[in-house]
Amino acid sequence: MKLITAVVKPHRLDEIKEALQAFGVHGLTVTEASGYGRQRGHTEVYRGAEYTVDLVPKIRIEVLAEDDEAEQLIEVVVKAARTGKIGDGKVWSLPVETAVRVRTGERGPDAL
Amino acid sequence: MAPAITLAAEAPRLSAANTGFMLICSALVLLMTPGLAFFYGGMVRVKSTLNMLMMSFVSLGIVTILWVLYGFSLAFGTSNGLIGFNSHWLGLSDIGLTELWDGYTIPIFVFMVFQLMFAIITPALISGALADRVKFSAWSLFVVLWVTIVYVPVAHWVWGADGWAYKLGVIDFAGGTAVHINAGAAALGVILVIGKRVGFKKDPMRPHSLPLVMLGAGLLWFGWFGFNAGSWLGNDDGVGALMFVNTQVATAAAMLAWLAYEKIRHGAFTTLGAASGAVAGLVAITPSGGAVSPLGAIAVGAIAGVACAAAVGLKFRFGYDDSLDVVGVHMVGGIIGSLLIGFFATGKGQSAATGVLYGDHSWTQLWKQCAGVGAVLAYSLVVSAVLAFLLDRTIGMRVTEDEEISGIDQAEHAETAYDFSGAGGGVIGSVAASAAAAQTKQTKRVDA
């Protein structure tokens, strides 16, 4: 199994959710996050004094996937999250040892 | 203030209309001080919000009492030109209910209370330059001393019938000199003594709430109609109405000019720019609004908007920490408004004096304005700096560096402006809050 994590622009959440549902993903976790990438944050101006704001608001989406679907799922998220402008975010995956559905105790792919 | 209204050689009688109008104007001017508190309060960081509000608010208390005890007597009593005195007015003990302000149709009590509101807001204006770093006790004592030694004499020079500037013919309709240049120069004097905030030019010091700034600017704009239109002390000849119109016109022009300036210089029309531009226009039209035409008011506002927008950057260039730009907006705006009278006075408003662009194109009025501006600027700057120096050497002006960094609200007022924990803080916040509440209850039970 793989854990796919995406840190993306907040306003892309609906598109990503819909794309994942269409792909057949049943569940996901969303948290608010903040951070910056290579382009850093943005600049604000107060009475002519410029301030650089490094940390910009992001959302972090986490999805569990079976090994053979992981690559495709990453593509789905990337496509839905992309606006083409700086700050679109990143998606990565990690191996997962096990997963348990709390209600039934099912393990592995059955828990997804 | 306005020269006497002459009503066909007849002695003035109490006018119910003018008296009612002036009482309302006084209440409008009072509203400017809490308005100013919010204008400033929104511009500081979260940890200093309450202190900023309180520095304005305490002036409502301190100056009111001083004004009753001796302020009014010294500011508006008879004199040799430098400081007034009238023993009947000490403690307001000997003023009749229907006794009129000399040459006008309103009671002395009404004139006294209208002037009180000006005396309240002037020291409050200074506080914006001192954000984040001054002991509240030292500030309170500064207000007592400053109003006594600086505001009262300057108000007497400019508005007292015996004041030297008034006699010279310096025009200051509603306080460009006595209020704004006076406060701005004092702010400069004090900050040169007490120094910069910790982290000035290094740490970001963004305004924490621009909506509060806009609310404050709106209240100031509204209250300013009382400040300006009321300064004719009545409505018998239309000058008050001209002043009302010019106040609106100049403020609008200054706001647009500031916005245009920063769009060109910095690339965006900012909220803080709109609020600041409006205040710059209000400041500039305050001395000049009774002397210029509405078209002149557009010029005064537009020039002040651009000049003040440019001036607020000076603190970074010269390295003095005028936290909220009291010098850049009030001192510079006041100077511009006062000097432009020397160019734009039409001779058809409050006095027959004309500026360079009207009448016989004489420079006389401009020189008079320069004398008034220069004297108040120098006196206020020097005396305020000396006051700050003496207070700093005795009781200390500044909070400790630790207190400044962790937040002056907690250190000086034992309060904070906003509660970021608890029920409003999301699921985790609620759990933490209820756990804390449970603990508090338990502690109480043990104590009982």
Whole-number percent of chain B with pLDDT over 90: 86
pLDDT digits (tens, 9 = 90+) for B409-437: 999 999 999 988 765 555 555 555 555 55
Whether residue B265 and residue A48 make contact (CB cut-off 8 A), yes or no, is: yes
Shortest CA distance to B156 belongs to which of B233, B90, B77, B59?
A: B77
State ipTM: 0.76
Residue B448 has pLDDT above 50, yes or no: no
Question: In terms of Cα–Cα distance, which of B203, B157, B153 is closest to B1?
Answer: B157
pLDDT, averaged across chain B? 92
A48·B266 Cβ contact <8 A: yes
**B322 confidence band (pLDDT: 50, 70, 90):** very high
DSSP states of B31-59: HHHHHHHHHHHHHS-GGGHHHHHHHHHHH
Instruction: Pick from A32, A42, A43, A47 the residue to mutate for testing the B interface (most B CBs within 10 Å).
Output: A47
Residues of A in contact with B312 (CB under 8 A): 47-48
DSSP state of A30: E
Spatial CB neighbours of A71, under 8 Å, sequence gap ≥ 6: none
Domains and CATH numbers, chain A: 2-111 (3.30.70.120)
CB spacing of B313 vs A49 below 8 angstroms: yes
Q: Is B267 on the interface with A (CB under 8 A)?
A: yes
| CA-based torsion, B47, B49, B54, B56: positive or negative | positive
List CB contacts (< 8 A) between A45 and chain B. 262, 266-268, 270
d(CA B217, CA B426): 32
CB contact under 8 A, A45 and B313: no
Which of B302, B327, B20 is closest to B180 using CA atoms? B327
| E runs forming strands in B206-288 | none
Q: How far apart are CA B63 and CA B5, in angstroms?
A: 29
pLDDT single digits (tens) B62-116: 999 999 999 999 999 998 889 999 999 999 999 999 999 999 999 999 999 999 9
- Identify the residue among B270, B271, B317, B330 best suited for mutation to test binding to A, counting A beta carbons within 10 A and taking the highest: B270
Q: Is the pLDDT of residue B446 over 50?
A: no
Task: Please list every residue in chain B whose beta carbon sits closer than 8 Å to the beta carbon of residue A42.
Answer: none
Taking all residues of chain A, what is their mean pLDDT, rounded to a whole number? 92
Around Cβ B149, how many Cβ atoms within 10 Å? 15
Residue A89 burial by Cβ neighbours in a 10 Å radius (0-12, 13-18, 19+): buried
* CA separation, residue B379 to residues A22, A34, B384 (Å): 76, 51, 8
Q: Within the 33-52 window of chain A, which residues sit less than 8 Å (CB to CB) from chain B?
A: 44-52
Task: Decide: B381 and B193 in contact? Cβ < 8 Å.
Answer: no
Query: pTM of the full predicted structure?
Result: 0.86
Q: Assess contact for B344 and B288: CB atoms under 8 A.
A: yes
